[in-house]
A and B are shown apart, each in its own frame.
Chain A
């Protein structure tokens, strides 16, 4: 396997691991989020499952052994209520955006195009949950200086 393909496979596995975690995380979100936003959370959950399945196939097609989901994940903070569930959903999308931006860099062609699409999807969902924008979704090194719009408005 070429160096490029190996790097692409590593990034694909990282994306797959993040999608496993997002699927788990949205399970928690769905249990806590208020009725009015449950449909939105379900749609996100389904979206991440679909991405996860596609990444699983992609890794396998490249000759890799797809990373498995863990039985459970430690949440980044307690999620006792709907407000925390919304914060968790935003956090899940930001993490997913981060791995997809790395996959964009590590890949070419169709894989890169799909990764960019997934990054866009995650960024828009994060905006919905957060109620505001960030200038560079998925770019951790530029996240240190958020703009005023990063303040939740909803």
Chain B
């Protein structure tokens, strides 16, 4: 028997609808109303829309945490930028802007207010970021139980990515 092909070869219409949903919140609502996910009332478009918006806000808050750590510990830039870039993509996938005030307003983020809360040592700052990634992944693991299938799938993937980030932030710090 051949090794099962990677699932990426299966591109059904539901996958395409996920791609469409990434383009904007309105399209995601469209997906939920055309009968794909109507198992119960919790799956109403507005509930799904709220969950999606919350997921975007959560990713943006995490981005701010990254930016605060980067502002306080510029030596971590090379380590953190790839992970931060993925968090931007997560925020965008949930329909968020993927931008944070400190990033868009100034080239060199002041972020003094949030930076003051960043631990003085780089390793403590990384541990704090890892904890934030992990707790957000846990939160998403719960949230995905109450949303339509397509959004649940995206939440599960982003939660898994966050857990991977937590691992990288923790392991490398040793």
Residues of chain B touching chain A, judged by Cβ–Cβ distance below 8 Å, are 1-4, 6-11, 14-16, 18-19, 22, 39, 81-83, 85-86, 89-90, 93, 137, 141, 144-145, 149-150, 152-161, 163-165, 167-168, 171
Q: Would you mind naming 7 contact pairs between A and B with Cβ atoms under 8 Å apart?
A: A17-B4, A108-B145, A113-B141, A119-B156, A120-B156, A137-B161, A139-B153
- Of A100, A106, A135, the residue contacting B86 (CB under 8 A) is A135
Which one, A29-37, A39-47, A56-64, A124-132, is touching chain B? A124-132
Given A102-B7, A104-B144, A141-B11, check contact A133 B168 (CB 8 Å): yes
Given A116-B144, A137-B164, check contact A95 B82 (CB 8 Å): no
A133 touching B161, Cβ below 8 Å: yes
| Chain A neighbourhood of B157, CB < 8 A | 97, 101, 119, 123, 136-139, 142
B161 touching A73, Cβ below 8 Å: no
A140 touching B161, Cβ below 8 Å: no
B156 touching A138, Cβ below 8 Å: yes
B contact patch SS: helix
Interface residues on A, range: 35 or more
- Of B90, B149, B161, B163, the residue contacting A104 (CB under 8 A) is B149
Residue on B nearest A73 in the bound complex, by CB: B3
Shortest distance from the beta carbon of B56 to any chain A beta carbon, whole Å:
15
**Other contacts beyond A100-B156, A119-B160: 9, CB < 8 A:** A18-B4, A101-B157, A116-B141, A123-B161, A124-B164, A139-B153, A141-B15, A143-B8, A148-B85
Residue on B nearest A110 in the bound complex, by CB: B145
Shortest distance from the beta carbon of A89 to any chain B beta carbon, whole Å:
14
- Of B1, B6, B155, B167, the residue contacting A95 (CB under 8 A) is B6
B161 touching A122, Cβ below 8 Å: no
